[in-house]
Structure 1
Amino acid sequence: MSIKRKRRFHAEVATSSLSDIMFFLLLFFLIISTLANPNVIKMTLPKAQANEKTNKQFISLSVTEDKKFYIDKEPVAFDALESTLMSKMNGEKDQTVVVRIPFNLQVQDLVDVLQIGVRNNLKFVIATSPK
């Protein structure tokens, strides 16, 4: 008399849907990483050896090569730059203004922008790219 043994149950993990999930996660993180800093206008920044990142609340002031001024991606005329900047500050002197200016613009253009900060006693930081 032969006794048949029952087949043992083997646990299996279905991995066919894991690749789909990984693909969607990859797409999600790629899209989110491109939206990480929406207030930046693309330009070539000056290079520096020591870069420091700011985690504080800041206002982005960008100057393009054709001397157009933007505060948080909103175009502003140079004559109205100071008043617009002060209205964005909302009376908070603790906020930092990050100046993004192309490396090939004249120094006088940078000084003109920084004079606004000196007159109003504001904190200005010049954005650079790693060397």
Structure 2
Amino acid sequence: MKIERRKLRTAEVYTASLNDIMFFLLLFFLIVSTLVTPATIQVLLPKSKTSSDVVVKKQINLTITADHKYYIEKKEITFEEIEPQLAALVAKKKEKEEMIVLLHADKSLNLQDAVSVIDIGNKLKVKMILFTKKENG
């Protein structure tokens, strides 16, 4: 008498529809998260006639490399062109706009090189900020 063995069946979970379910859950949480406001204190602000007079700060990047090359917004210029270029940018500013020049100077430069550029900014009455790197430790 021959005993026949049953074929072993492996358990299988059909996961093709799980992709759709996960997509809809993700979409649901994205939509809900944009509608939720953070826990803030709700205040009714008073009205003002000058409330639209907000100062907008415009930033200009001025870079000085170690080999004394000057760049305004990634455009290479000479030292003599710094003042006219900045003056042109200051002339273009709107009434409620404040200009700030972000000065990126290489650390190997003389202090006088950076001060010369800052003097140009002072002459044009433009705020200048010298960028530094935070020291670890």
TM-score normalized by the length of structure 2 = 0.54
The Cα of 1:118 is off from its aligned counterpart by 1.4
Post-superposition CA distance 1:65-89 (Å, at most 9, x none): 0001000000111111100111122
Equivalent residue number for residue 33 of structure 2: none
Whole-Å Cα distance in 2 between the matches of residues 116 and 80 of structure 1?
11
Are 2:68 and 1:67 aligned? yes
Deviations 1:52-72 (A, max 9, x none): xxx942000000100010000
Instruction: Give 5+ residue unaligned stretches, structure 2.
Output: 1-13, 24-55
1:32-47 to 2 correspondences below 5 Å: none
Runs of 4+ off more than 4 Å: none
What CA distance in whole angstroms lies between the structure 1 residues aligned with 2:19 and 2:122? 64
| Alignment-mate amino acid for residue 119 of structure 1 | K
Q: How does 1:18-29 map to 2 (within 5 A)?
A: none
CA distance in structure 2 between the partners assigned to 1:14 and 1:58 by the alignment = 46
Out of 99, 103, 109, the residue aligned to residue 103 of structure 2 is 99
Alignment partner of 1:110 is 2:118: no
Q: Secondary structure at the match of 1:60?
A: strand
Query: 2:124 — aligned with what?
Result: 120
Which runs of no fewer than 5 residues in structure 1 stay unpaired? 1-9, 19-54
Which structure's relative contact order is higher, taking Cα pairs within 8 Å and 6+ residues apart?
1
**Equivalent-residue separation in structure 1 for 2:133 and 2:58 (angstroms):** 20
Structure 2 contact 57–98 (Cα < 8 Å) conserved? no
Output one character per residue of 1:14-35: Cα deviation in whole Å (capped at 9) or x when no partner: 28x98xxxxxxxxxxxxxxxxx
Give the deviation of 1:122 after TM superposition.
1.0
Tell me if 1:13 matches 2:14.
no
DSSP 3-state at the match of 1:130: coil
| Alpha-carbon distance, 1:90 to partner | 3.0
Q: Does 1:79 align with 2:83?
A: no
1:91 CA displacement? 4.5
Aligned residues: 85
